Structure 1
Amino acid sequence: MPLFVSRLLSSLRMTTRLPTGSITSHLAAFFALDSLTMHLVKLFCYSMREPRPRVATAAPYNDPTRYGDSMPANPLQPLHEQAEATFLPYGENVQIVESYGEVEAEYAAIRKAVALFDCPHRSVVVLTGKDRTGFLQNKLTNDIAKPGVGSGCYAYMLNLKGRIISDLIVLNGEDATLIDLDTRLVKGFVDQMNKYIFTEDVKVLDAADSLGRLLLTGPRAAELLAKITNAPLDNLTENFRHTKRQIGTTTATIFRQDLCGEPGYELIVPRDRLTPLWQQIHEVGNGHENGESLMGLRAIGWSAFNTARIEAGTPLYGIDITDHYLPLETSHWYTRAVSSTKGCYLGQEIVARMHVHNTAARLLVGLRVTGDKLPVAGTDIFDAANPASQVGMVTSSCLSPMLGLSPVVLGYVKKPFAQPGREVELLAEGARTKAKVVELPFWHKS
């Protein structure tokens, strides 16, 4: 092992409670990661400092009064506890894994191998009936009918003032339409859908009690899925394409969604099959040959996932997108969620008027921060030429491993300040810091 690594190990033994063997294997994994090596070693060392938050999220992320508290117990909770995971609250009664103690290795799995993420914060609503497609077409911002069976789309649901009350994924099937959305929004969505059903042949089922969600992401995710399903995923080449596959005795709906800048495959499975499926994925993903891991699978938590999705410029509802915002203000996410050619839907008049006149007052942007100080969510953004003038607010931030731990920020700024290259100021760890607007994503594979 290189001399500087040996010295690093010696220093780490004095600053962490990890046993020597754990530290050695932890760093040894990094040295098989080619171009990521230095970034990840640096990140590991950096994580020993206290206190320095690596990822910040906005207040709505953990506001139970805003989103409600209905969610069944997570069948995977005992396995996470056995793995000595730490947890974060998501709403009132939902916990998600923060990490399994090695955030840097979890992040490395996303970028160089394959990562498995339990998603109890996501739920599924099932719509059946012959009128379901037309019914949804009149409620959501995107063209629900256009993708056809086996495809899907991302969309917003708006209130009458045109503000975003939910984002969701629509998966069109032959006999049913699946809606994937934040679990805190399910009750409101189901209630609103039922309120609008009159004579239409549509039934709306909250499937939170019966269906669970997993995410496999990383450059080897497709390879792992093909191995456990005994079938290639050649048809899942675009976001929201979906298919059904048999995994042992479990039937899973698998759809494509690249949230982290890497290939991502979301699995919808019966909740009573989550535990055996989780174990089966680990058995295959952690199989060894000649003493080496074949896939390099790791279970990951929110910290690693959140860092990767911010690097990829992916906003999340409840954090970067809330009911404070209008669709056009979500900038690069607007064209993903809104069809400018379809007919009427709730809030469409406001969306159409803003689209025609391009009248968004603020826009979601990416900021690259000067120096190494990290602004937190909720921090005000100021005009660099007039430091007393507030022009926006931070919604998410992280130290980007792929950019040498440079701080990066998602946030909203007034429209005149949204052009790439525009300089602003914000508060980071008690000091005024400059930042520049940059094009999103912050990082992508060449």
Structure 2
Amino acid sequence: MSGTDEVAPPWYRSTRYFMAFISSFGMANTFLQRGDLSMAIVCMVNHTAVDILKHGHSMIDNVSLFSNDTARYMYIGSNTSISNTPSGVTNNVTAGESPYHSCGTQTSEENTREKEGFTIPGIFAVWGKWAPPTERSRLICITYSGNISATALVFPLSAFLCKLKFAGGWPSLFYLYGVLGLCWTFIWLYCMYDEPAHHPRIHPKEKQYIEAALGRSTLKSVSVPTPWLKICTSLPFLGIVCAQVTYNWSIFLMMSNLPIYMKEVLQFDIKSNGAYSFIPYLAMFLVILLGSFCADALIEKQLLSVTYTRKLMTVIGHLVPGILLIILSYLDCTQSHAAVAILTLAIGLGGLAFCGILINFYDIAPIFATKIMTVSNAISMIPGILAPYVVAEITTDKTREQWQIVFFLTAGLLGLGTVVYLIFGQGHVQKWAVIRDTPEEEIALPS
């Protein structure tokens, strides 16, 4: 253990870990506020709207919202990619019945998304100057875990609140998540500072530990022009983008189509579908947290370099789920429980990719991490639009054999992303991310 480790205070008294938990709560609340509208609409509208939500048409008067499955899946995909949760599915479900309510609901959701679009980059911006290299995985993954926990909890929690009939049922969703959001905002404003040197309540030993671990240049508050040309031609950055695009394909595929697959192939009813759809995201939440501590331990104990640690986590988080999806494609409704177990392993182990590619931005460019992460995230939203459309075109007859093609395609893309990242991925600060007025050895991180 190094000298800087000896002066670091325990994690439970650490300002940086408190910030990680607050950030995680902020991420969770952001995604809860996005998802609550979906459940609120189901609670507030009549059965015709619920039928449209579930089937794309009314079971009573055969009123159709979508002309075919392709249109319905494409609509789901475009909204899923924008919101990064299944909440977008329900936009305009009441369009045929109440233009007033539809317009108001759509405007409300659009306003929510616009405001929350600033929240996520703001949360992750702090880690470039707060996360020591040997703790990056756990601090950033703790933050990411709020997203996954909210994805798993938003629908069962919202359904429970609707059934309570407190404050009219569905309005309680907005009251609860709104109050939580306000509380988080005040805590965030009080506790968050750009860097350790500006924080008035941080322990002096912790500040010294972070500054020693990151180096003065990383913490230096200077205005540095962003070298976009060098970033866009950087092979390590492009390797991350490629891996994230293929990874997001699998994630968005599961988010937008997991209930459909369970209904069409495994033949689960709606109640079972909801319960089994919750389990894989719970597994991912646990894997992200455990994997982040393992990744940091490998780096801290110098068992693997940063580069090989990121690649190891990415390989496991990409290839193993790809193999499991191929196995899953051979199972049918007579093996439904085995299929759920394999699906849970595939989605759960996919969480290890968070400890690889999604942390790697801070390894290669701490001072530009938020900017390059935002660019990569924007590009990797494209699969969220395309995945449901491709699924709709392939699974026209809703058979296991057609879903098998979907899973083989996904496994192939995950393999492609893994190969590209293995070739181009790096774990050290790139030359274009170095502040030249400081000796390079002060900012170089373990590679």
TM-score in terms of structure 2 length: 0.28
Between Structure 1 and Structure 2, which shows a larger proportion of helix residues? 2
Between Structure 1 and Structure 2, which shows a larger proportion of strand residues? 1
Larger relative contact order (CA 8 Å, sep ≥ 6)? 2
